[in-house]
Structure 1
């Protein structure tokens, strides 16, 4: 099929991804057809294949982009010297980054089951790399005596789950600001790993 008049790869490609992100988050991957995505973008269904090979590739691309953006943003930060300060930085960073990308976060957790085994493995590697960043902070804190953690890997996953959970209930304009929530969650994270 011919490309819809007025569409351009540099503009339409990102619009396809954004439409899929929004529709997958609202309705679930299984319930969203390529035709529905095309309708949201304003192109014919067949025209989508000029930008993506199939719906699975689109889902994988959204998850991969989210995880790579997350990792890149964390790596770019100047890290403080002390593990306690590093963990505070991570806690606040994780909450802020994910709050600004709620649809991507929802898809990254809820749609893993819809990935092919090969794509699932690739996303799991990216997730594991990110979890390892937290584990390194915890191991450094244990080594200095600042943290007391029985299993740093489990503690890292528990902290990430707790921090990511903010997305399930926090809304702007509520009783507390996001900054106040960050402080409360940092206090809980610190107490969860602090040496007695």
Structure 2
């Protein structure tokens, strides 16, 4: 039986968002009804309209808030990072870490993009473009400084994001690899794909020559 949470605005809205996220992830946007959402939250169906006007509004807010969080936290992750290589490592570590803990949000933002109406779709695509440009700028800086060898920055941007986001389909907490090991593996894949072959070989040689700590 659903828990009755009362009618306090902010508390109820947060419960609606959490329940909506869970139900859309489990059943899909089209299959979730507002009646089902109200029952999950523990309020009357008509009371939902005190907090959201439509199911479409809820979906758009969930996706936009997710991408805004992504952008805000990325800026913090890149703060004080110097040089394209260090910034690319920071981007990879952030993206992987974030997507390990936000599987529902990531899944909905990708799979339910098609369910947005044109106005909301355009707004979300613009936000996604802002995130993609952060990575594209890092790659462009690296190419300009001669530390990255990238034929097409836009293609590389899409490919890297697809690679990093792909872990949502297989990552499970408590698996064989630690979080740090998974991040390191993705950093190696990404860097090996954008660094000139001679620089990659030199880096590999340096890593082998580095003394072990402890």
TM-score (norm 1): 0.96
Query: Equivalents in 1 of 2:104, 2:110: separation in Å?
Result: 10
Cα offset for 1:6?
A: 2.7
Q: CA offsets per residue over residues 57-76 of structure 1, 9 Å max, x none? A: 00000000000010011112
Cα offset for 1:182?
A: 0.5
The answer to whether the aligner puts 1:103 opposite 2:75 as a matched pair is no
Cα offset for 1:44?
A: 0.9
Question: Match for residue 8 of structure 1?
Answer: 8
Matches within 5 A, 1:3-152: 6-77=6-77, 78-152=79-153
Query: RMSD over aligned Cα, in angstroms?
Result: 1.1
Query: Equivalents in 1 of 2:124, 2:145: separation in Å?
Result: 32
Query: Equivalents in 2 of 1:168, 1:6: separation in Å?
Result: 37
Q: CA offsets per residue over residues 60-95 of structure 1, 9 Å max, x none? A: 000000000100111123142110110000000001
- Maintained 8 Å contact 2:136/2:153: yes
Tell me the SS of whatever aligns to 2:30: helix
- Maintained 8 Å contact 2:5/2:12: no
Query: Equivalents in 1 of 2:37, 2:5: separation in Å?
Result: 17
- Maintained 8 Å contact 1:146/1:194: yes
- Maintained 8 Å contact 2:92/2:187: yes
Query: Equivalents in 1 of 2:196, 2:39: separation in Å?
Result: 55
Question: Match for residue 210 of structure 2?
Answer: none
- Maintained 8 Å contact 1:79/1:86: no
Cα offset for 1:7?
A: 2.2
Q: CA offsets per residue over residues 130-173 of structure 1, 9 Å max, x none? A: 00000000001101111111110110111011101111101011
Equivalent pairs counted in the alignment come to: 193
Cα offset for 1:5?
A: 7.8
- Maintained 8 Å contact 1:98/1:164: yes
- Maintained 8 Å contact 2:150/2:156: yes
